Chains A and B, each alone.
Chain A
């Protein structure tokens, strides 16, 4: 079975681990616990009946790495990245844009998706405001809530489809 290594990147506290755990175990733990080093999850995806299933090995990285993650052994041979920001903290979205740029430089041509997480905490009546740099990066953006599960699987399915197309 085919295997793809997916990096979860983003600032501390944006919900990388919550996204991974929602995806793999369909769980959400409200208590924050920082990831030290990296946590690895296996997730089977079926991008389409034609492509058949394959394994995602999801690397949930320590938010402390920032841009330096691309020099670390954890990032070697990544097939794709999902860079996460917190919808309620604009600075984390700006950081996500920067890290996404770093990924594109380190792994040219490999799929990248932005996740704007914690949308459940936003006022539903107020539209989500994203930094211009994020909107104009030409990269898919998925609004998610790890707490409710909203669009989390969609984000990974989208990445899986791109990875499958690339072969």
Chain B
């Protein structure tokens, strides 16, 4: 009797096992199977009694379980097995079954049952699964660990991006600051050098110029430079101040700012809207409002004019609008005016250092507020600054 059983055995065995059976070679075949992770093989009569078994395989795969113990997994499945008799080439499979041995553990097995019509017997092949449970658990734990690591990595990546953005902004500020120092502070120094040259010449040539006038100009330039340095110091301090949060009556604050700013008699400032009491940092809010209003007054091109200041609570912010009827700011200046010492009029002409709106921008950035400017002199006069001041400050 010679039968060929060709089957692809899975999942533990990658081998395609070609079982050539005359039965005399079965033990050899069993050893071959064992070398591919098979635990054992049992011949069963149609009444499912074991007639022959190759239990020696149990010693080849040291599991502590006898082959016959594993047949327990087939108990109660008689109907399924008997169905095979009428289905040539069919097999019954039951994967991933662990049979508990005496100490509560046991090998994890795959069962394959065939009906061999020529022999009129079932052949039960039992394959050992290589720690499927442990592998799956290990894999699940690795996946979970990886998810945790990826989440942490993403969080660190976001934090790093935020730090990089802050660093980039700091570098930009530094470059801007260096430019200011190298360029803008040079202007009064250069003026003083020219003026001192004039004084040298007037010593040699008394008619060259009026020395009293030149000395006065040198004094003015030194004062201008001193003012610029003072303002630069103030600029560098913003964001590093350690003010405490305090309950602020914004109505009182705006009235105090308006009352303290000198202006021409015909220049009016009107305050409207809702000015609530909020817990906030008073100093940067005062700085921002004072500089914007002061800017509107100082750069107005007429002695009569009107500045409207309105506040309203809008969502999570206090919205403050400062609208003037001055000459306006051309769009190409909208960015430049927030840089230190940038003024539309020359510093000498305006009498201002040009640091005011730079201070405003820095205070806005460090408090989480936002500021926008609307102005286009080619369409209409005036400028509108809108400040959104957060009602809740996060330390």
Contacts and interface: CB of A to CB of B under 8 A. Distances in A.
Contacts of A98: none
Given A34-B137, A41-B100, A74-B94, A57 B77 contact: no
Contacts of A76: 76-77, 79-80
A74 B76 CA distance: 10
Given A42-B100, A74-B94, A37 B76 contact: no
A48 to B, nearest CB: 22
Contacts of B93: 73
Size class of the contact patch on chain B: 20 to 34
Interface in A71-104: 73-74, 76-79
B47 interface: no
A153 interface: no
B395 interface: no
Given A35-B133, A73-B94, A74-B94, A40 B76 contact: no
A71 to B, nearest CB: 14
A24 interface: yes
B97 interface: yes
Contacts of A150: none
A37 B75 CA distance: 17
Contacts of A78: 76
A151 interface: no
Nearest to A72: B94
A36 B133 contact: yes
Q: What is the predominant secondary structure among interface residues of chain B facing chain A?
A: mixed
B76 A5 contact: yes
A27 B108 CA distance: 20
Interface string B68-105: 00001101111110000000000011111111100010
B298 interface: no
A41 B75 CA distance: 12
B97 A38 contact: yes
B98 A37 contact: yes
A63 to B, nearest CB: 13
A29 B381 CA distance: 83
B100 A37 contact: no
A36 B100 contact: no
A39 B98 contact: yes
A110 interface: no
B235 to A, nearest CB: 60
Given A40-B100, A76-B77, 17 more contacts: A5-B76, A33-B137, A34-B137, A34-B140, A35-B133, A36-B108, A36-B133, A38-B96, A39-B97, A39-B99, A39-B100, A39-B106, A40-B98, A57-B75, A73-B92, A76-B80, A79-B76
21 contacts: A3-B75, A3-B76, A27-B104, A33-B133, A34-B137, A35-B133, A36-B96, A36-B137, A37-B96, A37-B97, A37-B108, A37-B133, A39-B106, A40-B99, A40-B100, A41-B100, A42-B72, A73-B77, A74-B97, A76-B76, A77-B80
Q: Shortest 5 CB-CB distances between A and B: which pairs?
A: A37-B96, A5-B76, A77-B76, A36-B133, A39-B98
